[in-house]
Amino acid sequence: MKLMVAVPNLQTFFHALKLKVALVTFVILIFPFANISAQQVAILKYNGGGDWYANPTALPNLIKFCNKNIKTSIKENPETVEVNSVAIFNYPIVFMTGHGNVSFSDNDIENLKNYLISGGFLHISDNYGLDTYVRREMKKVFPTLDFQEIPYNHPIYHQTFSFENGCPKIHEHDNKQAQGFGLFYEGRLVCFYDYESDLSDGWEDEEVHGDPYEIREKALKMGANIVEYAFKN
């Protein structure tokens, strides 16, 4: 008695495999955030000489606050991602701060734009001295867009926590009013920029700046709103 073994049609098998690979590639390109954990964040590393690594305790503290108070499940230790890296698509929101120069290469510009128009979100915190460079470089990313002051009734100010007067004032800087600016692409807020506020300083460990609890709490609550908004939108 002979044992009959069914041998699959290899041509059919490899054709099916190619279709699956093509489908996965299509999903990654068209829906770049579909294959990742939605609740992860990263620090944006940029060139130009500015201290992108400023405020090292800020984002870890914000993450702890968010996980406790708005029920996120963000990884406690944030990653660092370069502007031109494909890894940026792993994060629904990236955070940028510093005091000095910012310089985006052509690859940086293309990658950051693709990230933002594909559903990504950028939060920029002016850690004093960043304003001129941020405005210049983001204009390269979106030449037809200008930073607009975000109205106080915008949802980013009214997530779990409500800020009736917009972005809270955390540090004095030039003693100007704190403002929240945004870049809107096809009606969607893709970048939130806190100016003369310094939210990220307010997220740092208490002993770094000696801010009272009430000030730090305002900063953390506004930061949580930004995270919540980015995850929802």
Domains of the chain, by residue range, sit at 8-35, 38-232
CATH assignment of 38-232? Answer: 3.40.50.12140
DSSP codes joined into one string, 122-145: EEEEE-SS-HHHHHHHHHHHSTT-
Number of helices and strands (H, E) in the chain?
7, 7
Give the burial string for 191-219 (b: 16+ CB within 10 Å, else e): bbbbbbbbbbbbbbeeeeeebeeebbebb
pLDDT under 70 in the chain at which residues?
A: 1-38
| C-alpha to C-alpha distance for 57 and 48, rounded to whole angstroms | 23
Question: Given this model, what pLDDT does residue 38 score?
Answer: 63
pLDDT tens for each residue of 93-102: 999 999 999 9
Identify the residue whose tokens are 């915008």: 154
Question: Given this model, what pLDDT does residue 174 score?
Answer: 84
pLDDT tens for each residue of 70-127: 999 999 999 999 999 999 999 999 999 999 999 999 999 999 999 999 999 999 999 8
- The type of residue at 205 is D
The number of C-alpha atoms within 13 Å of 114 and in the hemisphere containing its C-beta is 20
Question: Given this model, what pLDDT does residue 233 score?
Answer: 87
